[in-house]
Structure 1
Amino acid sequence: MGLLRSRFAYGYGRLWAATTASGVGDGTRTAALALYAATLTHDPFAVALVAVAGKLPWTCVGPFAGALVDRLDRWRTLWICDVARALVTGSLVLVILTGQAGVTVLAVVSFVLTSITTLAENLSQAVVSDVVGDGSLESANSRLMGGQLVSSEFLGAPLGTALFALGHPVPFALDTLSFAVSAVLVCSVRLPGARPATPGDGGLTARAVVSETAEGIRWLWRHRVLRTVCVLVGALNFAVVAVLGIAVLYALNVLHISQRAYGMLLVVLAVGGLAGALLAPLVTRALGRARTLQLALALCPLPFLIAGTTSHPLLAAGALAFVGAAISLATVVTTSLRQALVPADLFGRVNGGYRFVVNGVSPLGGLAGGALAGVAGLRAPFLFAAALLAAATVTALLRLSPAALDAAGQDAGDERGEHTVTRPPRAAHATRADAAAGERTEAPERT
């Protein structure tokens, strides 16, 4: 038992180190891409387009990536994803050095990187259970997110702005190196729980992937608790990306800060995110998952309202730090909830369907934020986000009760011994969860 626990700790440590290493590169790239786009054009819609391109793959690639997670060797595919991302960012460095980089190139790179990331992040969430053992999912996800936040926001973001000032290709070169380090760390993990998923009878074909993707989306849609959570977190993502798409212009033209100070502003925002990630296990133990998610949504409207009406950099950053905390709380809770409720053999495709909605609405949020800023000014997206998340908070209070989540958890435990890959959740599952939520039961469809 001691040997097994040490092997779990070894695998989790390597996964944490890989996530943290790539986080440094992610932070430098994200900050540098925003600054690079802002130096190429002052059009809010064009700047937002780069952010939108980085979100679009969650709609058109993400769901299919989820089906692949259930078919491929998860650990091996994870380090291959890191190698692929290193090649993409390395190519961007060469394009910048030749003077051919423009807004279109930045948008294409963002799209390709996120396309690979849809698979990599799904894989990362799927393998957490392999290395946690009998530990707490909230604690494991909290430490992973905390390490990533520290490396990307506290280190990567200010480092990205500083390196960008030294030379435009420098932060992207660091991102390339970070993916290479991550690949080496993940490649070294070998655990007995890291099973390759078994391909279906039809083999790995486009038809099979599409069919299994649809199966995951149907399973998610019939699960009332996860469906409600999915819609609410999707609204949170929509609102946040509507703001992030024009955040660099808001910082430079409304708060009137320098490019270097913009990196420090990102650090202030990250303080909230780190606090939310580290406190998530404690808050969840004290309030439960339902109340924690309600709290996360309730933290958002007022900070967005303050940011949309002030011109003081520290006041805006301090307010938005609460949004960072809310995002971390919601992410830790909902990730743990999916890992607890979704059967292991369906996790990839159901998780892909979930992220299809949650992240798939992000491009729409970016487009809406850019268009709204172009018509009504750079403050308008913040006011819109405040109104949307106020409505989401009310919905969470009405539709997500602790009793509903408790019933769903009980049903998931019962389901473990009965579920097969081709069956949707059984009718009894829907009946108890629906009764707890006060909703009408629907008979599950056959697949």
Structure 2
Amino acid sequence: MRLRSQKLLALYGHRFILINRNYTLLWVGSNISFIGDILFMTVLTLWIGTLLRNQSYAPLAISGIALAAALPALLISPFAGVFVDRWQKQKTMRVMDVTRAVLVLSLLLVSEPGAQAVLSARTAALPLPIKLGAIYLVIAATSSLSQFFNPATKALLGEIVPEEKLTRASALTTGSAMAAWPIGSMLGGIGYASLGASWAIALNAASFICSWELIRGMRVSEPAASLAAPKEGIRHVFKDLWEGLQIIEESLLLRTLLRAESLLAFGLGIINTLAFFFITQNLHVPVSLYGFVNGVPSLGGILGTWLVDRSAAKIGQSRIYYRARLVTGIAMVFTALQHQLLIALIGMLLSNIADSEAEAVVGPLILNATPAKMAGRVFSTFGTATTASSLLATFLSGYLSSTLLHTVDIHLFVIDLNATAMLNSCAGMALIIGGLYTYQQLRKEVRRQAPNL
């Protein structure tokens, strides 16, 4: 029986390989981890949102989730890229996975009673500020570790995937992430209503362990990288960091993408912070269906990545990027002004189709314009800039919707504007500006290098 199974695996196993074995393992591990993260963040949002229902500071408290993730990223990300370029990327990713699993499991000590009967009395006695503080602290710690994991993943992609297949690999990664979003959101929404928060914490920790195991199975030939002597290493960190910044400054493509991605992060920071209130208040969706409505439009990302894989060679990656950013912004503005669920879902679907196209090509664009030895630093710089932009948007949207714009209710013909609708419209405008800026900066280069970009 065992021999027969081995023969069947050898005969049909290649059908389950995406590009190559290493990429397939990375792809599966990333998707498992991503589903766990989305499920986890959905449950935390619902948990805080229901605890603070009808409280004016609820948007600010929910924005604290994003702020807790963004602040350490802003401080650590620039330097993390330097060490990612020095360390073995596969080993770095495994260490970060294990550590994040332990940190997430620590939240079981403050999670809701129900799934953890032993901790029920202790949990019930904990005041809300302590629970929120523990959540924010764990999110901040795991986010700090992600600043090493994420650029290592992107840099490793350039080593395990041939250059001519980078767009396809990026499209597969983006499309599967879009598909994973509704799975995590719906599981989070349904699970929280029936089981509480503890189960989501355990599943997210388990997803990190699965990712660790799959990354361990990759066969990557990396040089035995090691840091120099501690004194010399610390002294050269800023020098290495400056070299990465110079690479971006000297490249028109990288400079333009950095600014456009920062505008994207600003817009998404607003959208993500106010998603709970847009769906439950503006669209009048019950809390129990929040995860479903929040996740379903992401399925459009599958269609977007399918389209980009077939059009990149014809019209060029740069053209795809700025066109997709424009469409995403327009769809966001359209959606922000809606109060009908079906129409809003159509707008969300169009936005996700275009956004997935842009996300599928931005990674290969960066890799093609960056020397391999500096990929970690360049991706970390992008992460720092987008995190800072997202942090600003998260704070502003949470603060304004909780204070200055809290009582706003404007009626213009068939359009009703409250704080959420106004701020979400501004998010769409940020993406439109980013698309127009990219077009203006890259049109000459596109004409000169097309269809290679």
TM-score interval (norm. to shorter): 0.7 to 0.9
Alignment of 1:137-286 (within 5 A): 137-151=166-180, 153-165=181-193, 166-192=195-221, 194-197=222-225, 199=227, 205-286=233-314
Distance 1:178 1:204, change over 3 A: farther
1:86 corresponds to: 101
The residue identity in structure 1 corresponding to 2:97 is: D
Q: Secondary structure at the match of 1:310?
A: coil
Instruction: Give the Cα separation in 1 of the matches to 2:140 and 2:448.
Output: 38
Residue 136 (str. 1) matches residue 165 (str. 2): yes
After superposition, the Cα gap between the structure-2 partners of 1:56 and 1:314, relative to the gap in structure 1 and judged at 3 Å, is farther
Taking structure 1 as reference, are residues 306 and 245 closer, same or farther at Cα in structure 2, changes over 3 Å only?
A: same
Q: Which structure 1 residue ranges, 5 or more long, are not aligned?
A: 413-447
Residue type at the aligned position of 1:389: L
Match of residue 396 from structure 2: 368
Equivalent position to 1:71, from 77, 86, 104: 86
Alpha-carbon offset, residue 403 of structure 1: 2.4
Instruction: Identify if the C-alpha distance between structure 1 residues 89 and 409 changes in structure 2 by more than 3 Å, giving closer, same or farther.
Output: farther
Deviations 1:240-279 (A, max 9, x none): 1112111112212221212221111122221122322333
Q: Distance in 2 between matches of 1:347 and 1:160?
A: 34
Counterpart of 1:28 in 2: which secondary structure? helix
Out of 373, 395, 398, which is 1:345 matched to? Answer: 373
**RMSD after superposition:** 2.5
Classify 1:58/1:323 alpha carbon distance in 2 versus 1 (closer, same or farther; 3 Å): farther
Q: State TM-score, norm by structure 1.
A: 0.84
Counterpart of 2:9 in structure 1 is none
CA separation of 1:408 and 1:60: change in aligned 2, threshold 3 A: farther
Given the alignment, which residue of 421, 428, 440 partners 1:398? 440
- Three-state SS of the structure 2 residue aligned to 1:52 is helix
**1:19 pairs with 30, 38, 52, which one?**
30
Identify if the C-alpha distance between structure 1 residues 12 and 387 changes in structure 2 by more than 3 Å, giving closer, same or farther: closer
User: In structure 1, what is the Cα distance between the partners aligned to 2:352 and 2:145?
Assistant: 25
Q: Is the 8 A contact 1:289 1:402 kept in 2?
A: no
Matches of 2:296 and 2:354 in 1, distance apart? 15
Equivalents in 2 of 1:332, 1:274: separation in Å? 11
- How far has the Cα of 1:146 moved from its partner? 2.2
After TM superposition, the structure 1 = structure 2 runs for residues 119-130 of structure 1, keeping only pairs within 5 Å, are 119-130=148-159
Aligned twin of 2:67: 52
Counterpart CA distance in 1 for 2:337 and 2:451 is: 42
Change (3 A) 1:380 1:106: farther
CA distance in structure 2 between the partners assigned to 1:111 and 1:209 by the alignment: 23
Query: Mean Cα displacement is larger for which, 181-190 or 33-42?
Result: 33-42
| 268 and 239 in structure 1: CA distance in 2 versus 1, 3 angstrom threshold | same
Matches for 1:408-419 after TM superposition, within 5 Å: none
Gaps of 5+ in 2: 1-13, 112-118, 406-418
Shift of residue 203, structure 1, vs aligned partner: 6.6
Shift of 1:304: 2.1
Shift, 1:29, TM fit = 0.8
Check conservation: 2:18, 2:24, Cα contact below 8 A. no
Give the equivalent residue in structure 2 for 1:384: 426
- SS of 1:217's equivalent in the other structure is helix
Structure 1 residue 337 displacement after superposition: 0.9
TM-score, normalising length from structure 2?
Answer: 0.83
Say if 1:409 and 1:356 are closer, same or farther in 2 by CA, change over 3 A.
Answer: farther
Q: Helix, strand or coil: the match of 2:316? A: helix
- Residue type at the aligned position of 2:196: G
> In structure 1, what is the equivalent of residue 141 of structure 2?
112
1:19 and 1:226, CA in 2 relative to 1: closer, same or farther beyond 3 A?
same
Contact 1:66 1:352 in 2 (8 A): yes
Tell me how far 1:200 sits from its aligned partner.
Answer: 5.3
2:354 is aligned, of 319, 326, 337, to 326
Deviations 1:32-58 (A, max 9, x none): 121122123242122112122222333
2:309 and 2:272 map into 1 onto residues whose CA distance is 27
Q: Deviations over 1:181-236 (max 9, x none)?
A: 110111122222x3344545777733322332232122212222110111011101
> Per the alignment, in what secondary structure is the counterpart of residue 70 of structure 2?
coil
